[in-house]
């Protein structure tokens, strides 16, 4: 784990199933099974970033999961939606709908630095969001290392073009 929070969650309190980032599972009590969940929609798979392959935790026991940086828990009511950076979606209950949508205009995609797509999470259910996904931490560390070209805006289209042009 890296700087963040370790949560102990009783799966039976959340309908017996939790979907989380692929590297967040740490440990579980007896009676919990760990599996892989592939997002079924093509847009989610292609543009979901860290959310494409997720872990599926099932059972009635306690699980320990790690979430980077600050942690925000949001309980969504039926039909309520939030848009979140795809890397910041740490976990959600099975009843939450997960999809990927375009972040905004072409101008905001190029110059905004947030990335091209957002996760659209629709209730009912519980969502846990993290402020520091591992990819963001690694990108910031690499940008400050000697001999690197510095930050190019990890989530921006221009940053990705810069990586293509300089061979990274």
Question: Could you report the per-residue pLDDT of 114-128, keeping only the tens digit for each?
Answer: 556 788 999 999 999
| Residue 60, pLDDT score | 93
Q: Where are the domains of the chain?
A: 4-143
The residues pairing with 121 across neighbouring beta strands, listed in sequence order, are: 82, 98
Question: Could you report the per-residue pLDDT of 70-81, keeping only the tens digit for each?
Answer: 899 999 999 999
| Helices (runs of H) and strands (runs of E) counted in the chain | 4, 12
The count of other CB atoms within 10 Å of the CB of residue 22 is: 13
Q: What are phi and psi of 153, to 5 degrees?
A: 85, 80
| Residue 52, pLDDT score | 62
* pTM of the predicted model as reported, rounded to 2 decimal places: 0.71
CB contact at 8 A, 151 and 136: no
Q: May I ask the CATH class of domain 4-143?
A: alpha beta
Query: 78 CB contacts (<8 Å, ≥6 apart)?
Result: 123, 124
The CA–CA distances, whole Å, from 83 to 103, 130, 163, 167 equal: 9, 13, 27, 32
The count of other CB atoms within 10 Å of the CB of residue 10 is: 13
Confidence of residue 87 (pLDDT cuts 50, 70, 90): confident
For residues 141 and 135, what is the distance between their CA atoms, to the nearest angstrom? Answer: 10
| Residue 88, pLDDT score | 86
The CA–CA distances, whole Å, from 71 to 4, 120, 142, 159 equal: 8, 18, 24, 27
């Amino acid at each position: 784990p890296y700087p963040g929070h370790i949560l102990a969650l009783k799966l039976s309190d959340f309908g017996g199933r939790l979907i989380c980032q692929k590297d967040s599972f740490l440990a579980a009590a007896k009676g919990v099974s760990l599996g892989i969940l592939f997002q079924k929609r093509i847009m989610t798979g292609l543009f979901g970033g860290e959310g494409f392959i997720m872990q599926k935790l099932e059972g009635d026991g306690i699980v320990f999961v790690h979430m980077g940086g600050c942690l925000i828990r949001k309980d969504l009511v039926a039909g309520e939606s939030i848009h979140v950076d795809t890397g910041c979606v740490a976990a959600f209950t099975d009843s939450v709908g997960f999809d990927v949508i375009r972040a905004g205009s072409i101008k905001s995609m190029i110059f905004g630095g947030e990335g091209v797509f957002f996760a659209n999470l629709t209730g009912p259910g519980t969502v846990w969001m993290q402020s520091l996904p591992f990819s963001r931490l690694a990108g910031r560390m690499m940008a400050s290392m000697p001999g690197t070209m510095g930050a190019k805006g990890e989530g921006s289209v221009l940053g990705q073009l810069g990586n293509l042009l300089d061979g990274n």
